[in-house]
Amino acid sequence: MKIKISFVVLLLPFFITAGCDSEQKPPAGKNAETISTAPAATEVAAPTAAQESAAENKTVEPVAEPVQKAALSGEQVYKKSCVNCHGAGVANSPKLGDAAAWAHRIAKGNDALYNSAKKGVAGTAMMARGTCGACSDEELEAAVDFMVSGSK
């Protein structure tokens, strides 16, 4: 029994490699020669005189300038985004028109208020840019000016 197993193990590599052919042959079929011997296309035809003339006379369309959206007014920004918290005093935010709640904030100056609107206020619910991430700095400042003017 040991002899038979050894004989098979010894001859196994021979049986495995016997069916392999060391040369690669192209696939059989009608297009076998065209696939393996077809030359690569490397030449590009030069443009004709008519094509060159047409290219010279071709007009270039001007590129349209990107359309700038009109800046929102302070009141529009307030109604779009700020009213969600400052209209009802959510999370102790100062309500529009509440002079007492705005007094110490207004006393810090416009730059401090603009900075609060743009960067948020740590330890409060006022996050950076409020709920208007798409607003420009100018629009945020206009919203602050609107709330301050309505809360003095």
Residues of the domain holding 140? 74-149
Q: Is the pLDDT of residue 54 over 80?
A: no
Supply 26's token pair. 């192209």
Indicate the pTM of the whole model: 0.56
Q: Is the pLDDT of residue 136 over 80?
A: yes
Residue 5 lies in a domain: no
Residue 31 lies in a domain: no
Residue 124 lies in a domain: yes
Q: How many residues can be counted in the chain?
A: 152
Residue 13 lies in a domain: no
Residue 23 lies in a domain: no
Residue 22 lies in a domain: no
pLDDT for the residue 99? 96
Q: Output the domain CATH number for residue 96.
A: 1.10.760.10
When pLDDT is averaged across residues 15-34 and rounded to a whole number, the result is: 54
**Domains in the chain: how many in total?**
1
Q: Cα separation of 77 and 83, whole Å?
A: 9
